[in-house]
Chains A and B, each alone.
Chain A
Amino acid sequence: EADIYQTPRYLVIGTGKKITLECSQTMGHDKMYWYQQDPGMELHLIHYSYGVNSTEKGDLSSESTVSRIRTEHFPLTLESARPSHTSQYLCASSVLDGKLFFGSGTQLSVL
């Protein structure tokens, strides 16, 4: 079934650790996004990509990086996690008409 998948679903780590949040979609979409969202609150765009080898920073600088080596894969890496990074991270994808499809999210807790 075509969908967008995020792993892990929950992650608890210590300060200073390097982590990678995984996002894969089987929908054949060119555009992919990462959003940060506290529960029920505003969606903040962190990074986005229009296709392979295309990555851009969004409005929220979260000291993270992304890569887009394959169309279906868009991982997010935090080089050194801090407690301020504690949040939910949502991955999304779309075709050019703008309809976003979201993954189930990764709930990150940094101790």
Chain B
Amino acid sequence: GENVEQHPSTLSVQEGDSAVIKCTYSDSASNYFPWYKQELGKRPQLIIDIRSNVGEKKDQRIAVTLNKTAKHFSLHITETQPEDSAVYFCAASSRTSNNNDMRFGAGTRLTVKP
């Protein structure tokens, strides 16, 4: 089955700086890579996702890159703001599989200091 590792577990940045969170996956059949943001006391919410047919996707200050050869993908947040403070989870799954192989990383707690 799929195994997803996420680093770092905690990340602290100054407001305005960039933040990068990295994930690796083990199953070469994985082709869907979402990122979820969970604010304190709230439900996880999808913020961006990427499929294996593209290498990069951007949405305003958030971008995700995928390296299929190395089996890793990263979340990039530019011009960080205090409201970006949250726990971020990466995940990987195979869209075509009939088994539930959506696996989450252990999470990264991001703190943006004003």
A interface residues (Cβ-Cβ under 8 A, vs B): 31, 33, 39-43, 45, 48, 50, 56, 58, 90, 96-105
Distance in angstroms from B19 CB to nearest chain A CB is: 17
Contacts of B36 in A (CB 8 A): 100
Contacts of B44 in A (CB 8 A): 43, 90, 100, 102
Known A97-B32, A99-B46; further 10 A-B contacts with Cβ < 8 A: A40-B40, A40-B107, A42-B105, A43-B89, A45-B102, A90-B43, A100-B36, A102-B44, A102-B45, A105-B43
Of B32, B87, B106, which contacts A98 at CB under 8 A?
A: B32
B interface residues (Cβ-Cβ under 8 A, vs A): 32, 34, 36, 38, 40-46, 49, 87, 89, 93, 95, 98, 100, 102, 104-107, 109
12 residue pairs of the A-B complex, CB under 8 angstroms, read A41-B106, A41-B107, A42-B107, A43-B89, A58-B100, A97-B32, A98-B34, A98-B93, A98-B95, A99-B46, A101-B46, A102-B44
